[in-house]
Amino acid sequence: MINKVILMGRLTRDPELRHTNSGAPVCSFSVAIDNGYGENRQTDFINCVAWNKTAEFVSNYFSKGKMIIVIGRISTRTWEGQDGKKNYATEVVASEVSFGESKRTQEGGGGYSAPQQNAASPAPAAPAFPDNVSDDAFTPLLDTDDDLPF
């Protein structure tokens, strides 16, 4: 069976680093992930937890608003509260964490920018596709099953 999750989103708050009674570091954080487009757009908030070196890495290098990539597994926990009610938690246990953007992009000083066009020399127009070509002209190009190596 497979239980693997890959998430990419922004931290909703600064990661919280704690230590267990035995001294193991554990870091809790939440990732906001946008889904859908236009009017159907919504944001999911996914709770995550990291342990040991991964916990320290998240705590040291990430903060609210930073883009993060999390690879891990979904885990569910249940416990009985002081009021006697059963509580449930579903979270992603992170096994790997990576930066989701470069440092230059985070600082607002970079990333890719399109080359600027010189106003004196406009960009050449793309060649027009002839209207008189039928779809049948491309059929031989698509029917090449004999050339496939598998």
pLDDT of residue 147: 58
CB-based contact 28:16 (threshold 8 Å): yes
Residue 141 has pLDDT above 90, yes or no: no
pLDDT of residue 138: 47
Cα–Cα dist 91/51, whole Å = 13
The whole-number average pLDDT for the span 123-142 is 50
User: In this structure, which topology does domain 5-103 adopt according to CATH?
Assistant: OB fold (Dihydrolipoamide Acetyltransferase, E2P) (2.40.50)
pLDDT tens, residue by residue, 60-116: 999 999 999 999 999 999 999 999 999 999 999 999 999 998 776 666 544 444 444
pLDDT of residue 46: 96
pLDDT tens, residue by residue, 48-58: 999 999 999 99
Name residue 95's amino acid.
S
Cα–Cα dist 113/89, whole Å = 42
Residue 23 has pLDDT above 70, yes or no: yes
**32: number of Cβ within 10 Å:** 14
SS3 label, residue 17: strand
Overall residue count recorded for the chain in this entry: 150
